[in-house]
A and B are shown apart, each in its own frame.
Chain A
Amino acid sequence: MSKERTSAVPAAPAYVPTDADFAFDTTIDITTDRNYASQGFWKGVFMRFFKSVRAVIGLVIIGIIIILALIGPHMNSYGYSDIQSVTDPETGKEVTARSMPPHVPWLHKLTTGESYDDPFAEETFLFGTDSMGRDLWTRVWYGARVSLLIAFVTIFIDMIIGMSFGLISGFFGGVADAVMQRFVEVANSIPRLVIVGVLATFMPKGIVLVIVALLLTEWIGMSKIARAEMLKIKGQEYIMASRTLGAGNWRIIFIDILPNTIGPIITQMMFSIPTAIFTEAFLSFVGVGIMLPQCSVGSLIEDGFNNITTLPYQIVPPILVLAFLMLAFNFVGDGLREALAPRIEDM
């Protein structure tokens, strides 16, 4: 039986080897695997994260908003709750800068060639003023600061609560786990709305109510993730090794296992922060959140909504800030998730 293999022989390579090429190559060290050069886990995560355009855009947006939230209110001399007014030199009456559209003297001059013909001719209100005469630029960034602060603080505390709960529940298993999971199930079956309602029966409306409501609900997701990670890691050999070396339960949970659950937890935080911002905005919009003259992104949107038929421009800046924050945190969350667990492209 014959097998023609002519087709199997590729055309001779262009390079014509010399006799010297046929010596052993002593420079090759076969004991070193150069394909998998030692690269730290987190270094790989960082590299993958920054390769993702969306994640980087998200990060940049968050950075810009945080910077503006920090310095924005101080870029002019107005306080967030100051009502801007001047004394009209002609009538001697107090004139309040109520409901002014965006008011930028140099831009006005550039476009119309004239200066403003109002008592605030020299004042700059980039986003205009609200119906009480407060500068919206200052309020928007102050509101963003409040919203971000509420989100960061509550999510951080929720992370600690949820992570501890989930790790302990997953680690001990058995009866403890069963009881703790029943608890989670019950807690998870109460809509956030109901929690807010009940809280509102005995708490004053305001920031504290929002924070407590978030604290009571957002830890559940964290605990579920922490528990799942714990169950995954618990059975691994290095835990066994640690135990045989005499490590106690708490040491194993918080020193050996916790650092390995941090990736998914941070990812979950990135998705929880927009939820918190959203919830705060929602509660403030409904009227149980931030109270005047304080403001947050949500209360500014409500304010804008109340005046939408007469002053539609008022609602635009807070909505944009909210939308960009949600978008950015989701992008970063997605990027982080993919960076932590890269999907191997199917071949």
Chain B
Amino acid sequence: MARYIIKRIFMAAATLFIITFLLFLLVRIMPGNPFPSERMSDEAIAKKRAEMGLDDPVLVQFGHYISDILRTGSFGKGSSLYNGAPISTVLPTAMGNSFRIGGVAILFGVSVGLILGIAAALNRGHFWDVFCTVLSIVGVCIPSYVFMIFLQYFLAYKTTIFPFYFNNRNFLHSAVMPALSLSLFSMSTVARFTRNEMVEVMDSDYVLMAESKGMYGTKLVTRHILRNALIPVVTVIAPLIVDLLTGALVVEKIYGINGIGKLMVDAITGEGIDYNYVLALGILYSAMYIGIMLVLDIVYCLLDPRIRVSDRPKKKKSSAENGEGVQA
């Protein structure tokens, strides 16, 4: 178990390193000019290039880049090539904004989704089940940004229940719409997945066995059904968070939130591409993605006794206590 986790962490770190290198390589060697040539003289560009170390071999550049990140936490020479704002100062604020809204959205989406899914499975064929089905269809076929547009149009423009744009000083009130629209997809996915897992578990042999032992009602649901049905739900959360990252791009555009999504959009749609921002955000996004998958993977292992209490380490340590020690 511990071996597996260590191996998993090592793999994740290695993957992130490879991705960082690939991104760096692509951004550096692909055609394109990091400077607006029409606005700068050739000499100025050459000077700037030398200053930024862009004339060094790519590997040397990469070495500098990595050591900069590891030592000082700054991405690149500490500033964007264009507007001069240091990435290391822009990024934390943007991350804070994005994480707060994303966090609220995922918490809300997952918890409501869980409740809906459980209610649907326990009332198969009745109101909550139908509601859950409709919600999952809506969640699948209406992109979250369409939902956002509707929310904004009706709740902020037609009526003024919520403010049109996000505002950090009025977080609670102005975060409702972005968080709600972001959470729609996670909610519907979690609800549908939970429902299907529950239904499968409810039809399983071991639940029949528990019933034939005389278990019923709440005890049956909490002890046997929920525990087994909810463990796999952990596995759908990772892709949901990734989806959330994508959704955040549009949400931040629509609600004017200064988050990493908006930075990314600005970086790739701005007049000239902001190399360092793309690179820094690319690494950040990949790191978040890999980190989330890693954490959820480990959580899953800890939750499922079939993985947590495996007999394999016992043989290695040749002691019978090991297997039980984990359970204690």
Contact = CB atoms under 8 A, between A and B. Distances in A.
Chains A and B touch (C-beta atoms under 8 A apart): yes
Interface of A: 185-186, 189-194, 196-198, 200-202, 205, 274, 278, 281-282, 285-288, 301, 305, 308-309, 312, 315, 319, 322-324, 326-327, 330, 346
B278 A198 contact: yes
A287 B252 CA distance: 14
A323 B141 contact: yes
Contact of A322 (B23, B146, B157): B146
B273 A201 contact: yes
B18 A186 contact: yes
Contact of B141 (A192, A193, A327): A327
Q: Name the 5 nearest CB pairs between A and B, nearest first.
A: A326-B141, A202-B30, A327-B141, A194-B282, A200-B268
A315 B246 CA distance: 21
B152 to A, nearest CB: 8
Nearest to B11: A185
A191 B32 CA distance: 23
Given A201-B278, A330-B140, A189 B146 contact: no
Contacts of A327: 137, 140-141
Q: Which range contains the number of B residues in contact with the other chain?
A: 35 or more
Contacts, number: 117
Secondary structure call for the A interface: helix
A305 B282 contact: no
Interface in B16-47: 16, 18-19, 22-23, 26-27, 30-32
B245 A285 contact: no
Nearest to A281: B143
Contacts of A322: 143, 146
Contact of B269 (A190, A198, A287, A312): A287
A282 B268 contact: no
Interface stretch (B61-69, B226-234, B284-292, B305-313): B284-292
Contact of A282 (B26, B246, B254): B246
A189 B19 contact: yes
Contact of A193 (B245, B254, B275): B245
Nearest to B277: A197
Contacts of A326: 140-143
B142 A323 contact: yes
B246 A288 contact: no
B15 A191 contact: no
B145 interface: yes
B264 A198 contact: no
B303 interface: no
Nearest to A185: B15
B293 interface: yes
Nearest to B287: A189
Contact of A194 (B149, B152, B265, B285): B285
B27 A191 contact: no
Contacts of B282: 190, 194, 197-198
Most buried by A among B268, B269, B286, B293: B268
A9 B265 CA distance: 80
25 contacts: A186-B19, A189-B15, A189-B289, A193-B249, A193-B264, A194-B281, A194-B285, A197-B267, A197-B268, A198-B282, A201-B26, A201-B30, A201-B32, A202-B26, A202-B32, A274-B141, A282-B143, A282-B246, A286-B253, A286-B269, A288-B268, A308-B152, A308-B153, A330-B137, A346-B203
Interface of B: 11, 15-16, 18-19, 22-23, 26-27, 30-32, 137, 140-143, 145-146, 149, 152-153, 157, 203, 242, 245-246, 249-250, 253-254, 264-265, 267-269, 273, 275, 278, 281-282, 285-286, 289-290, 293
Nearest to B293: A189
A200 B273 contact: yes
Contacts of B152: 308
Given A190-B282, A191-B246, A196-B268, 17 more contacts: A194-B282, A194-B286, A197-B267, A200-B278, A201-B275, A202-B31, A202-B273, A205-B269, A274-B140, A285-B145, A286-B253, A288-B269, A301-B145, A308-B149, A308-B152, A308-B153, A346-B203
B153 A201 contact: no
A213 B148 CA distance: 25
A71 B26 CA distance: 42
Nearest to B157: A309
A312 B286 CA distance: 37
Contacts of B289: 189-191
Nearest to A319: B146
B27 A198 contact: yes
Contacts of B265: 286-287
Most buried by A among B143, B145, B269, B285: B143
A197 B281 contact: yes
Contacts of B22: 186, 190
A194 B267 CA distance: 11
Contacts of A309: 153, 157
A324 B138 CA distance: 10
A308 B137 CA distance: 25
A191 B242 contact: yes
A35 to B, nearest CB: 26
A189 B16 CA distance: 8
A190 B246 contact: no
A200 B23 CA distance: 12
A201 B32 CA distance: 7
Nearest to B28: A201
A108 B246 CA distance: 43
B138 to A, nearest CB: 9
Most buried by B among A193, A285, A308: A193
Most buried by B among A186, A189, A201: A201
A1 B294 CA distance: 69
Contacts of A286: 249-250, 253, 265, 269
Nearest to B265: A286
A94 to B, nearest CB: 32
B26 A198 contact: yes
Contacts of B30: 201-202
A315 B149 contact: yes
